[in-house]
């Protein structure tokens, strides 16, 4: 089960990394002038936020099959969570970006920084501070969402392993209680680590 | 290529599933909100004394809902309760809701400044009068957007009850997929229904919010 927990954490971290990257792209696309790009990212965000994550995993797992694309359940799970994360995070980033006043970028530009420098050195650090808490939350969510993999037949993450034991021994309550404890521990470790990181990063 | 064996009856079956989803959401929200308001008020009034409560509710937010369903279902069998799967789903979702709702209500109540409270008390209102006429109306406005978000979240989380054998929207569509083997099409319809339901709730939320802001 500990090996399963590791797979769970791994999946969650991977989905978070991809999710953040895609969310950044989506956020910048949402401010683009091109209506096609804006429409695409808006559609992504609203679909990700308005349908259940299980549904998104289903679409990826069963739906892609009709294009002759057969993905493993792990890939479907990872892609589903990433899709979901990206949608939620893009919304967070947008809120964060709004909270950084526009005059900051103007001030940076008038100090002789290039646009890229302005974004990299001025806006992003402030943005990070604002979205840090939602980011932690989303990380916990990602861990919890990996438990959905078992519905599409994943059997090596924490829930999958638990379900395996459950089918073998019929000791449902004991095994799932243990799994719940491990999930709780993982969530707490994430929150604690985030708090330590915040304390280290945002000291001034 | 564009022909399909999806019939009107299938659509009806899915709509029935959607109705089950809505009913689950409604019950869960009812249970969760009632418990959440009471617990949230307690948390705001006696923060020290109710710390254990916060820890307890934190557990429900840190353990996957799927596992909660399975655990509760197993617990039900162990305890020998004769509940239907639907009732189990409602109760688990209700507790889950209550855990979130408590935080929402607590932050709403705490957002009412202490001076407002003092002013009300010095006008001769009793504690409960202050709560009823001053604090709650102000806290409701603050908490409402969070509450609507919670409704949306719970509606999406109801899809997990398929694991304990309730036929809701997603399970219904899966049943149809198994029969007619057109996963993408059927799932798209399911997605559309979910989208419309979420959109409806969000719209209702904005309308109510706007209405309440009229005399701000």
DSSP class per residue in A62-77: HGGGGGT----HHHHH
Task: Say if residue B1's pLDDT is above 70.
Answer: no
Residues of B in contact with A162 (CB under 8 A): 67
d(Cα B106, Cα B90) in Å, to the nearest integer? 23
User: Please, what are the domains in chain B?
Assistant: 19-212 (1.10.3720.10)
> Distance from CA of residue B169 to its chain's centroid?
17
d(Cα A51, Cα A54) in Å, to the nearest integer? 8
Residues of B in contact with A147 (CB under 8 A): 64, 66-67
Give the pLDDT band (50/70/90) at residue B215.
low
For residue A204, the model assigns a pLDDT of 60
- CB-based burial label for A57 (10 Å; 0-12, 13-18, 19+): buried
- Tell me how many helices (H) and strands (E) chain B has: 9, 0
- CA-based nearest residue to A141, from B71, B58, B163, B62: B62
* Cβ pair B29, B101 in contact under 8 A: no
Across B13-22, B97-106, B175-184, least confident range: B175-184
A48-71 tens-digit pLDDT:
888 888 888 888 888 777 777 777
* Cβ pair A50, B195 in contact under 8 A: yes
B82-106 tens-digit pLDDT:
788 888 889 999 999 999 999 999 9
Comparing alpha-carbon positions, the chain A residue that sits nearest to B153 is A52
Q: How far is A176 from chain B (nearest CA, A)?
A: 6
* Cβ pair A163, A73 in contact under 8 A: no
Across A181-185, B79-83, B139-143, B195-199, least confident range: B79-83
For residue B95, the model assigns a pLDDT of 92
A122-156 tens-digit pLDDT:
888 888 888 888 888 889 888 888 888 888 877 78
Q: How far is A31 from chain B (nearest CA, A)?
A: 23
For residue B31, the model assigns a pLDDT of 93
What does pLDDT average to over chain B?
A: 87
Stretch B27-31: mean pLDDT, rounded? 92
Q: Is A58 on the interface with B (CB under 8 A)?
A: yes
For residue A155, the model assigns a pLDDT of 78
ipTM summary value = 0.78
CB contact under 8 A, B74 and A176: yes
Which of B59, B156, B183 lies at the smallest CB-CB distance from A66? B183
Q: What is the DSSP letter of A150?
A: G
CA atoms within 13 A on the CB side of B33: 16
User: CA separation (Å) from A120 to A97, A105, A123, B67, B126?
Assistant: 13, 10, 6, 41, 55
For residue B99, the model assigns a pLDDT of 92
The H-or-E segment that residue B76 falls in is helix B65-79
How many domains does chain A fold into? 1
Give the pLDDT band (50/70/90) at residue B211.
confident
Task: Say if residue B2's pLDDT is above 70.
Answer: no
What does pLDDT average to over chain A?
A: 85
Q: Is A183 on the interface with B (CB under 8 A)?
A: yes
Q: Is A184 on the interface with B (CB under 8 A)?
A: yes
Residues of A in contact with B187 (CB under 8 A): 55, 58-59, 62-63
> Distance from CA of residue A8 to its chain's centroid?
13
Domain range for A175 is 2-201
Per-block average pLDDT, block size 10, for chain A (204 residues)?
Answer: 83 90 87 85 87 86 75 86 91 85 85 84 82 88 86 81 83 84 90 88 70
Selected residue of A42, A51, A146, A190 to mutate for chain B interface (largest B Cβ count, 10 A): A51
| CATH number for A104 | 1.10.3720.10
By residue count, chain A amounts to: 204
* Cβ pair B40, B104 in contact under 8 A: yes
- What pTM did the predictor assign? 0.83
Q: How far is B39 from chain A (nearest CA, A)?
A: 22
B38-80 tens-digit pLDDT:
999 998 888 888 888 888 888 888 888 888 888 888 888 888 8
Q: Report the b/e string of B166-205 with b at 16+ CB within 10 A.
A: bbbbbbbbbbbbeeeebbebbbebbbebbbebbeebbeeb
For residue B216, the model assigns a pLDDT of 61
Residues of B in contact with A165 (CB under 8 A): none
Q: How far is A66 from chain B (nearest CA, A)?
A: 7
Size of interface A-B (CB pairs under 8 A): 100
Residue in this structure with the two tokens 């790009």, named with its chain if needed = A37
């Amino acid at each position: 089960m500990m090996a399963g927990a590791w797979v769970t954490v791994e999946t969650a971290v991977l989905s978070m990394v991809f999710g953040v990257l895609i969310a950044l792209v989506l956020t910048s696309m949402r401010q683009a002038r091109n209506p096609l790009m804006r429409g695409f990212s808006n559609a992504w965000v609203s679909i990700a936020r308005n349908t259940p994550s299980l549904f998104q995993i289903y679409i990826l797992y069963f739906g892609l099959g009709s294009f002759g694309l057969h993905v493993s359940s792990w890939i479907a799970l990872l892609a589903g969570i990433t899709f979901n994360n990206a949608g939620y995070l893009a919304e967070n980033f947008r809120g964060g970006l709004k909270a950084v006043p526009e005059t900051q970028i103007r001030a940076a530009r008038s100090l002789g920084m290039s646009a890229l420098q302005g974004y990299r050195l001025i806006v992003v650090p402030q943005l990070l501070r604002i979205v840090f808490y939602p980011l932690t939350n989303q990380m916990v969510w990602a861990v919890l969402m990996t438990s959905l993999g078992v519905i599409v037949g994943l059997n090596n993450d924490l829930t999958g392993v638990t379900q395996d034991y459950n089918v073998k021994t019929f000791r449902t309550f004991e095994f799932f209680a243990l799994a719940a404890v491990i999930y709780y521990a993982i969530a707490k470790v994430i929150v604690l680590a985030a708090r330590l990181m915040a304390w280290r990063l945002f000291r001034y | 290529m564009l022909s399909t064996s999806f019939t009107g009856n299938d659509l009806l079956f899915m709509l029935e599933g959607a109705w089950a989803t809505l009913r689950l959401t409604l019950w869960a929200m009812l249970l969760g909100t009632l418990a959440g308001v009471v617990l949230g008020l307690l948390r705001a009034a006696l923060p020290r004394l109710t710390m254990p409560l916060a820890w307890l509710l934190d557990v429900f937010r840190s353990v996957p809902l799927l596992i909660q369903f399975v655990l509760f279902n197993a617990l039900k069998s162990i305890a020998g309760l004769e509940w239907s799967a639907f009732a189990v789903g409602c109760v688990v979702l209700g507790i889950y809701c209550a855990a979130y709702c408590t935080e929402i209500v607590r932050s709403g109540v705490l957002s009412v400044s202490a001076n407002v409270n003092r002013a009300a008390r010095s006008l001769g209102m009793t504690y409960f009068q202050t709560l009823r006429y001053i604090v709650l109306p102000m806290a409701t406005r603050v908490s409402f957007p969070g509450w609507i978000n919670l409704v949306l979240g719970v509606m999406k989380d109801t899809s997990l009850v398929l694991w304990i054998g309730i036929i809701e929207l997603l399970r219904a569509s899966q049943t149809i997929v198994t029969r007619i083997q057109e996963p993408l099409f059927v799932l798209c319809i399911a997605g559309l229904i979910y989208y419309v339901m979420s959109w409806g709730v969000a719209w209702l939320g904005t309308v109510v919010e706007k209405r309440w802001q009229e005399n701000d």
